Amino acid sequence: MTGVLQRIGLAALAAFWLLAGELHAASSLLIWPINPRIEAGEKAAALWLENRGQQPISLQVRVMAWQQAGFTDQLQPQQQVVGSPPVVTVAPGKRQMVRLISMQPAAAHSEQAYRVLVDEMLQPGSEANPQLGVMFQMRYSVPLFVFGAGAALDTGAWAPGKDVRPLSPDLAYRVEEVGGRRYLSVHNRGGAHARLAQVYVRQSDRRVALADGLLGYVLPGAWMRWPLPPAVLASGFTLEALINEQREPLGIPAL
C-alpha cells in the first residue's frame, strides 16, 4: 500500500521482554500478556493495551489464522476468533482491554494457532500524517492459542484432570546447508506449539548462544529454521532451550 509505513518489531521486542510477560514498544505502547490462551471451555481471553505516552494512540486489532510452511509464518484472514472492539483509541496514561472471542470452538483434543495483529494508526490530517488516508505507523504481532475440549498445554507444573489430554511439543533438529550457509532446522512432531527461548549450543567445552531471549515458535507438524553462527560446527553438538513455560532448559535431540 503506497504511503504505508510498516515496521514489524515483534522479534526484537519479544526477545527482550519474553520473561517479563509484557511487550513494550518504541511508541510507548505496552501490550500484555504476550502469550494469551483461550482454554478449553472458555469463550474469550483478555489482551490489554496501555498507553504510556503523552498523546492518544489509535489501534486496530485483527486476529489471523497462523500456519507455518516452507520455514515461514503464514497468516490468513479468518472468523473463528475476533477482537472486540476491533478499533480503539487509548488516552495517555490509560489502558484498554480487548476481548479475544472464540466464535467457534477448536476441534476437540487439539490446539489452534492464531496471531493477533495490533496496528498503530496515524489519523489523516494529523501533524504526523497530513495525507488523506490512514497510515500504519507500527505493527505488533502477539501469538494466541485456542484449545479444544479435553485439551490443555502441558506446562509441566500441574496435573490435568482425567478428562483432559495435556498437549506438548516433540522437537528434533538437524543442520542443513542452503546457499552456502548452515541452518538449524527444528521439527515439531508433537500436538502443541513450541516457544523456543534462551537457545544454546554445547560443543566440546564451548557454549554458544543462538538466542538469549526469544528465538521463535514451531507449530505442530511444522519445520522452522534459523541461521547458525560460524562458530558452531556442523555436527557433534547438543541443543538446549527453554520450551514454553518450562523453567529449566531441555535438550533437543538430533534427527
Taking only the tens place, the pLDDT of each residue in 39-80 is: 999 999 999 999 999 999 999 999 999 999 999 999 999 999
Same domain, 18 and 144: yes
Whether the per-residue pLDDT at 8 is higher than 70: the answer is no
Q: Rounded to the nearest 5°, which phi and psi values hold at 198? A: 45, 60
Same domain, 140 and 19: yes
Whether the per-residue pLDDT at 21 is higher than 70: the answer is no
Q: What is the mean pLDDT of residues 197-226?
A: 95
Q: How confident is the model at residue 123 (pLDDT cuts 50, 70, 90)?
A: low
Residue at which a domain ends, from 152, 179, 209: 152
Judging by beta carbons within 10 Å of its beta carbon (0-12, 13-18, 19+), is residue 175 exposed, middle or buried?
middle
What is the pTM for the complete model shown?
0.86
Same domain, 176 and 131: no
Residue at which a domain ends, from 120, 152, 184: 152
Q: How far is residue 132's CA from residue 4's CA, in Å, rounded to a whole number?
A: 12
Amino acid letter, residue 17: W
Residue with cell 543462538: 210
Q: With respect to residue 124, please indicate whether it lies within any of the assigned structural domains.
A: yes
Whether the per-residue pLDDT at 159 is higher than 80: the answer is no
- Is the four-CA dihedral 56, 26, 7, 102 of positive or negative sign? negative
* Residue-number span of the structural domain to which 52 is assigned: 10-152
| Beta strands 111-122 and 135-147, pairing class | antiparallel
Q: Kindly report the CATH number assigned to the domain that includes residue 179.
A: 2.60.40.3970
Q: How many helices (H) and strands (E) does the chain have?
A: 1, 20
Q: With respect to residue 162, please indicate whether it lies within any of the assigned structural domains.
A: no
Q: With respect to residue 214, please indicate whether it lies within any of the assigned structural domains.
A: yes
If one counts the domains in the chain, the total is 2
Give the per-residue pLDDT at 125.
Answer: 55
Same domain, 228 and 191: yes
Q: With respect to residue 186, please indicate whether it lies within any of the assigned structural domains.
A: yes
Whether the per-residue pLDDT at 6 is higher than 50: the answer is no
Same domain, 138 and 32: yes
Give the per-residue pLDDT at 16.
Answer: 36
Same domain, 47 and 133: yes
Residue with cell 495517555: 92
Q: Kindly report the CATH number assigned to the domain that includes residue 14.
A: 2.60.40.10
Q: With respect to residue 159, please indicate whether it lies within any of the assigned structural domains.
A: no
Q: Which residues share a beta bridge with 140?
A: 118
Q: With respect to residue 160, please indicate whether it lies within any of the assigned structural domains.
A: no
Q: Residue 36, preceding bond cis, omega within 30 degrees? A: no
Q: Using a pLDDT cut of 70, give the percent of the chain over it.
A: 81
What does the pLDDT look like over 107-120, one tens digit per residue? 999 999 999 999 99
Query: What is the average pLDDT score of the chain?
Result: 87
Q: What is the mean pLDDT of residues 4-21?
A: 38
**In contact, 35 and 194? CB cutoff 8 Å:** no
**In contact, 243 and 169? CB cutoff 8 Å:** yes
Same domain, 60 and 147: yes
Q: How far is residue 40's CA from residue 192's CA, in Å, rounded to a whole number?
A: 14
Task: Tell me the three cell numbers of residue 253.
Answer: 535431540
Q: With respect to residue 5, please indicate whether it lies within any of the assigned structural domains.
A: no
Q: Rounded to the nearest 5°, which phi and psi values hold at 12? A: -70, -40
Same domain, 128 and 172: no
Whether the per-residue pLDDT at 24 is higher than 80: the answer is no
Whether the per-residue pLDDT at 11 is higher than 70: the answer is no
Same domain, 143 and 245: no
Same domain, 129 and 178: no
Q: How far is residue 25's CA from residue 120's CA, in Å, rounded to a whole number?
A: 11
Whether the per-residue pLDDT at 2 is higher than 90: the answer is no
Same domain, 126 and 24: yes
Q: How confident is the model at residue 17 (pLDDT cuts 50, 70, 90)?
A: very low
Residue at which a domain ends, from 152, 185, 216: 152
Q: With respect to residue 2, please indicate whether it lies within any of the assigned structural domains.
A: no
108: DSSP letter: T
Same domain, 178 and 121: no
